[in-house]
Every structure is written in C-alpha cells, then in structure tokens.
Structure 1
Amino acid sequence: MTFDPVRESDGAGAEPVFLLAPARSYSTVTVALLSGHPDVYGFPETLVFTAATVGELVGERAEWAGFPLRLSGLWRAVADLHEGSQDDDAVARALAWLADHTEWPTTRLMDHLIGLARPRVSLEKSPDTSSDDATLARCMAAYPRARFLHLVRHPVTTQRSLHEHWRPAGRFRSDQALAAAAAAFWHSSHRRIIDALAPLPAGRWMRVRAEDLLTEPRVWLPRILAWLKLDDDPQIIDRMLLTENWRFAGTGRSGALLGGDPKFLRSPALRPISAPGPIVFDPSWGLHDEMCDRMTALAHSLGY
C-alpha cells in the first residue's frame, strides 16, 4: 500500500468492524440491529474500498450499473457525521465536500469518517467489499487491526433473493444465465471471505448465520456484543431490536436516498424470517451438478 503521511499521523480509529457478506444476506438489517447499541456507529453502504481514490469513487463509478443512487449511502454518512443531518441541503453539501476531496485515497476518507464517529465503534458493510480480491484486500490492508463479522445466509434462499433482485435489471440473456451467475456469486464471495479471514487470530473475526441472528436476536446479539467487548444489558438489547430507529433507516425526505437494501430501508422494522430448510436447488434453475455439489459442501462448512 502506498504510504500516506497524513493518514499515518491522524490517529484515525484503530479497530473498526467490517461486516463481510455478499448481497442479499440480510446485512442491512444486521447493521441496523447492531447500530442500536449506544457504542456502535453503523454506517450505510459506503462502497469506499471499491476504488483507490475519492475521485474514482464519486466520478466514473457514480452511475454504477444504471443505479445512480448507489453512492447515496456515502453521501448520507458524510452529511450525518459532518452536520448531524441528512436533509437535502446537508446531503448536497456532502456531495460538494466529496468533490473537493477527490485527491484523497479512499482509505483516508474512511479514516476521516471513523474519526468523526468516535468514541463509538465504527461498523461498515458494503457487499461489494467481498465481490473481488482487490477490493477485499484493500479493506484488510488499510485496517490491519480491524475486526470482521462474516454474515452467512442459506444458499437456496440467497439464490431466490438474488434472482428477484437482479432480474429487473435485464442484464442476463436468460433465467438460466442469471441463476448460474447468482450461484457463482454466492460461492465465490463466501470462499473469498473464508480465505481472507483464515490467517487472522480467532478473536479478530466471528461468523454468524443470518437466520440465527434474526430468529433469535436475544440469544445472538449478546454473543456478538461479547465478542466486541460491549455491554449487553437487557435494556440495550431491547433498544437494538428497534431497527426502525437506525439513523439511516428510511430513504430521506426525498424518498430517494439508499445505502442498503431498498426493501428494508422503506420498511425498516425487524421482521421474522423463515428458518433455513434443506439444501435443495430448484431444478428449473438449470445449475450444473458440479456447482450444486460445491455450493452444498460450502454451505455444510458454514453450518447448513
């Protein structure tokens, strides 16, 4: 990594927590849950590690795959931490501030935001962080003392959710091509996370099944808080269950700001989910036996 003297001397937060999970893993609601703790600042999706500089992030990547609001999580975070507001004027000033700092490395931008969130523990999740080797490596190299929460979801329900989420974009020539891409995405993302975390000391990362956390939050939240060395008083747990109170819940006054799963942001109350069932892939998806076998083996290793 290129030495950044400003970054090295500014004393930015030493131990942020990064939630690693592919898209459609209940990661937005998980961040909303954990952000209910008074000592946690849960960011929306910032996408910071997908680019080397702020200019690259807010410039050529601003209209990602036809979704111009993909970066609105970053806008919201900057506005909230700079002004304590996410109204239209504050967000506009956040965009202007980012435009004035295009030369910054994105790691310095993350340092800046973490510093503003102190003394709270910073928690950030962007599914794109685990989408390729370079992005995940940038995150881990930038924060060698960070902790990582690996969130997993059953492969079959993840596939169904990915199909529903990706199909409207019309980027695949057929449903079978979409299914193949979704399967490869789930498998490669988790494999990449597993391989990246393997060399770390056991205390630096924790793996949680999303279905367990959302079905039994009063059991699993104390376990996660113990790992984070944070208070797990029952009154705090009660507060954490009110996910609609997350500072980034909702879509802003304009109704257009995102920074996570749009479905959850528009209706951010905690809801029960179905328990994971057997690992049986729908034959209509047309997945090759080899891929099904690989996904099944990985799912077993993740506790399914």
Structure 2
Amino acid sequence: MPNRNAFLSLLFLLGLWGSAQPTLAQHLVPHSVQLDPTKLERQGLNLAQEAAQLAQFQQYELALPRARLATQLAPKSPEVWSLLGGLYLQTNELDNGITALKTAQTLDAKSSAVLFALGSAYFQKSSYATAIDYLKAGLKLKPNVPGALFDLGNAYLMLNQTPDAIAQYEKAIAQDKTFWPAINNIGLLKYESGDVDEAIRRWRAAVAIDAKAAEPQLAMAVALYAKGDREQGLKLGETAIQTDSRYSDLKFLKENLWGNRLLADTKKFLETPRIKATIAQAQEKGPSQPQSMPQ
C-alpha cells in the first residue's frame, strides 16, 4: 500500500482532493469511484517524464517521489521501473535500485539498458562476478556499446583479470576513438605491470583527446617524475590539480581504480613542496568542477 504522502499525491492527480470533507457527525454513504486505467497510466508516464527531466539536472530527491508514484500508476511499464532503479543507483540506494531494475527486467527481458544498469549496480556493491554476468548478457543483446565494454573492463580489472580487462577497453576504443577513460585505464594497468613507457604513451593519447582530463594528466605527471623528468612531471601535476583538485586525494584515486604501485608513487609526488603548495591553493579556491566523461 502506498505511503500517506504518495496517497495524497494520488488524490490530487485523480482530482479527488479539495471537495468539502465530512464532519464527524455526518453519515458517510459508501460509494465506489470508477478509475480509468488508461488515464492513470498516462498520468504515471507524465510523472516519469518529469522525474527524468529533474534527474537531468541532478535533482534526484525531487525526482524519486515522482518516479515511485509513477510505478504505482503505470506498474506495467518497464521504462518507468528502469527510471526508478536508475534514480536509486544515483542516490546510492543500491538494493532498492536492484529491486526496481529486476522488476523492469521481468517486464522486458530483452532490455540491454536494464542489464547494463544491473551490471553497474552489482559493480557498486563489489559483486564483480555478478556484474560481469549482467554486462555480458546486455552486450549479447546490444554489442559494441563503449560504456558497457568499459564497465566490463573495470569489473575484470577488480578481479585482477588484466588481459580480459585490456581486451574490453580496446573494444570500447575501437567503437569510439575518443573514449579516453578506456585509454586511461589501459595506462593504469600497464603501469602496474611495470611497462611505464607504454603507460605514459596511453596517458599522453588520452590528454591529446581531452586536454582538460585531469586523471591522465596527473598519472602521466607521476610517472614522468618517478622516471626522473621532475620538472615536466611537476608542471603537469600542477595543471592537473588546478583543473580538478579531487585528484590530489589518494582515496579518490583508489576509487578510480588506481593500483598500488601508482598510488605509492603518487603519494611521494603529492608530498613534494610545489605540489603541496598547488593543493593548498586549490583548496582555498574551493572544489573544482569535475570534468565530464564521454558517455
């Protein structure tokens, strides 16, 4: 049964709110209200559209109640359930998101988007093997989606299956030559394996695609500094941190799949006087605007 707030919203939608309320002394005459299922579904789809528009502006707290009510009004719409699941994932309510997405899957078993979203949800829950199963199922229905191939590569990376991870990243790049996050992550794996020159080449290629991509800039800065090219490394590091100061946080870097070898070298790099001064200046300015990644 919907909660009280959702029930009141439903009354507003159905035009049943606003009439005079009976006093306690009045005798209530039982009657039935004839509801039009088509009209209810249309109202639900309209609410879902509103929720999707709010989500585009990252107003998830406003979007969620609309999406929840939309699933009550249009319970047979896989798109509405998928929207609700995606919103739950955005607000880190992973279990609720998975429940909603699985409902969408029962309504439309051939939706690759739902399978990809379930893969993302299980990745966030650190259930990497399950994430791989859903991502591969989605790719079977809709092959060659760069974002899904990238996510699959990340899941393999977390399971230390490096050749499989690189293979998926390479497939993503083959589909979209400008997909620099996949190029960047190959660099991460190459650095961990000791192939520093190849890692630097990959990061240089990523920066050539997007000059404002802070992650490959900082990774390349650390690698150059560790190799002895300290001046070039420091210059690149200053630029990267000024672009996006989040990359001066080792915890943030680990969340972005940086390996132990690169993290150890980055820790030394961040402790140099010039970089420490750059971090302090960036913190005084406030948080940087994160750079968008290709979809």
Higher helix proportion = 2
Higher gyration radius (CA):
2
When normalised by structure 2's length, the TM-score is 0.27
Structure-1-length-normalised TM-score: 0.27
Q: Which has the higher contact order (CA 8 A, sep 6+)?
A: 1
- The structure where strand makes up a greater share of residues is 1
